[in-house]
Amino acid sequence: KCFEVKNATATSADLYFYGDIVSDWWGAWQDEDQYPDAIKNFLAEQTGKDLNVYINSGGGSVFAGIAIYNMIKRHGQNNNVKVFVDGLAGSIASVIAFAGSDKPTIPANAFLMIHNPWSWAEGNAKELRKMADDLDQITTGILNIYEEHLKEGVSIDTIKELMDAETWLNGQQAAEYFDIDVGETREY
């Protein structure tokens, strides 16, 4: 079991990101972990339905998270997708938080954590320099997503600085930079 559907109706379903974002089922060590193939299958079963996405995740695989973001965005082209950050949308989960067709809801007591991607590297100086260049390119991809959701007047350079510093933003602080709703705690 790789995801749990609660409150599914004929017109809507709930999707929870309450674990790590991993590349495939092999990396899903806990039932709460999510990966692109599971999300693809879940969304195929929810065709024509609105979606409520709930997040409490520290993140995980950048490429898995970007794939999930893009899949949910496509689902939102024909259906209403609302995203609620219940506790933490950290790292790549912060990108998934912006996948809805509406702006995300992040209560004042919940958090968005943004930082630069990182990786393990091994090799000679040339290979390590290439890894740094690759990480810069991956950062640009993440910034492209954040840029679509900036509050008017906020520069993407400001977000880059926040990523450089690994910044934790509660809902009220996140609303200073991103187009979000600072909502109440969600009841189930």
Nearest to 103 by CA among 19, 48, 174: 174
Query: Hey, what's the torsion of the CAs at 71, 8, 109, 182, to 10 degrees?
Result: 70
Residues serving a catalytic function are 91, 115
Structure tokens at 103: 């702006």
Do residues 156 and 150 touch, judged by C-beta distance below 8 A? yes
Do residues 91 and 111 touch, judged by C-beta distance below 8 A? no
Distance CA(177)–CA(69), nearest Å, equals 20
Residues contacting 188, CB < 8 A, separation 6+: 6, 7
